[in-house]
Amino acid sequence: MHIPDGFLDTKTWIGLGGISAVFVGTAVRKANKTITDKHIPLLGVMSAFIFAAQMFNFPVGGGTSGHFMGTTLIAILLGPWASILIMTTVLTIQCLIFQDGGLTALGANIFNMGIVGGFVGYYINAVIQLFIHDKKGIFFGGFTAAWCTIVLASVCCAVELGISGTMPFKIVIPAMAGIHAVIGIGEGLITVATLSLLIRVRPDLLNLQKI
């Protein structure tokens, strides 16, 4: 899902870069006000986990790739603003050190995976847990939110490529959404498995104050 350099036209990458910069700046301010000692180690662990998970890429076509995203898991545990911070850190390292995703497209990648993924995942899970309680709500909400976020993020990526004239909408949207609908099942299962483990060994982490 990482967009390389040269795949977005100037207006698109500048616009998305500006939007992402505003969200990242807001996330930093919120973190400075709400972060506690319990958040710090979990932020580090989640960053490492997401970084490792995103090293497994699935080629989609047209120079793009798909992978497990992990944003929903971050949002459930730490909140949507924390997901922006972690995804920004991970994506920046991947871009600068591993050339996974372009520097000019960094803002777009943060927007798709950090902002869209974080907020959509957080609120889908929250709404589901209003109607389904206890462990069933946690698991069903986690799986559904994870699946929806990775598909929606891939569609946002496809729309950006289409707007930029890189690929026709009728080709790039079905290609991206189709492969990520499959990848989303895996991400949902990983999210549920991780939440299940935390419920058994560290249930307190599910009740942390959200950032």
Domains and CATH numbers, the chain: 10-207 (1.10.1760.20)
Write b or e for each residue in 35-48: b if 16 or more Cβ atoms lie within 10 A of its Cβ, otherwise e: beeebeebbeebbe
Distance in angstroms (rounded) separating the CA atoms of residues 28 and 85? 7
Q: Is 12 within 8 Å of 74 (Cβ atoms)? A: no
For 52-82, the pLDDT digits (tens) are: 877 776 565 555 555 678 899 999 999 999 9
Question: Which 8-state DSSP code applies to residue 99?
Answer: -
For the whole model, what pTM was predicted?
0.90
Distance in angstroms (rounded) separating the CA atoms of residues 195 and 138? 8
Per-residue pLDDT band for 168 (boundaries 50, 70, 90) equals very high
For 78-119, the pLDDT digits (tens) are: 999 999 999 999 999 989 988 888 999 999 999 999 999 999
Q: Is 106 within 8 Å of 95 (Cβ atoms)? A: yes
